[in-house]
Structure 1
Amino acid sequence: MKIQELMREMPNYADSEAIAGVDKTIQFEFSGEDAGSYYLTVRDGAVTTGEGQADDPNVTINSDSELWKRIATGQENGAVAFMMRKFTANGELPVLMAMQNWFKIPA
């Protein structure tokens, strides 16, 4: 799966209970094979995604696209990858940790 497809499908994998009351925007800056900029907004119990730059993201994630696909599908632990500095994040880091509960993506 390409990173563009993964990002486009994210709303379908949202856990409606986990995102209730959340109002956050995450910017993704991917490098590697599927390099590109994407954003994801969780607001009013819904998830929207888009290509490009978000106006005012709560957190920005910089990651290799292949690594992020493994994290998103549960093949790699995101918290461990972050602590090992496999990817970086700037902004509201608690949002980064909460994200792992917002989506249930099949491998």
Structure 2
Amino acid sequence: MTVAETFQALQSRFKPEGAAGLNKTFQFNITGEQAGSYAAKIENQTCQLIEGGVEKPDVVFTIKDTDWLDITAGKLDAMNAFMAGKVKLTGDMMLAMRLQGLFDLGR
């Protein structure tokens, strides 16, 4: 699976029950051979994927393409990747912590 394919599948992994009252935008800046930016706009318990990212996201994750693919395949735990420095975070740390409740990333 490619990075682009994982983001296309992200909407099907969205858990609307975890997004009650949340109107925020998460951005993923992917580095490496499959570099790109993708944003997930959460609004009214829906998720809209924006390829290319947005100008002012609420939180930004920067991660290497191979690590992102490992996280989405369930081979790498997202929290462990963050603690190991494989995921860089800019913006609202508390909001970032909610990500795992919004998406089923490791399947």
Whether the 8 Å CA contact 2:62–2:88 is kept in 1: the answer is yes
CA contact (8 A) 1:23 1:44 kept: yes
Q: Percent identity?
A: 28
Is it true that 1:39 corresponds to 2:24 in the alignment? Answer: no
The alignment status of 1:5 with 2:5, answered yes or no, reads yes
- Figure out how many residues of one structure are paired with residues of the other and give that number: 107
Query: CA–CA distance in 1 between the matches of 2:99 and 2:13?
Result: 12
Cα separation, 1, equivalents of 2:26 and 2:54: 8
Structure 2 CA distance for partners of 1:79 and 1:106, relative to 1, 3 Å: closer
Structure 2 counterparts to residues 54-65 of structure 1, below 5 A: 54-65=54-65
Superposition map of 1:67-106 within 5 A: 67-105=67-105
Deviation at 1:53, TM superposition (A): 2.8
Q: Which runs of 5+ in 1 are unaligned?
A: none
1:55 positional shift: 2.7
Which runs of no fewer than 5 residues in structure 2 stay unpaired? none
Aligned-partner Cα distance in 2 for 1:87–1:42: 21
Aligned residue in 2 for 1:66:
66
- Residues 71 and 106 of structure 2 are in contact (CA less than 8 Å); yes or no, is this contact kept in structure 1? no
Q: Displaced runs of 4+ in structure 1, greater than 3 A?
A: none
Deviation at 1:72, TM superposition (A): 2.8
Give the Å deviation of 1:105: 4.1
TM-score by length of 2: 0.89
- Aligned-partner Cα distance in 1 for 2:64–2:33: 8
TM-score (norm 1): 0.89
Tell me, yes or no, if structure 1 residue 49 matches structure 2 residue 54.
no
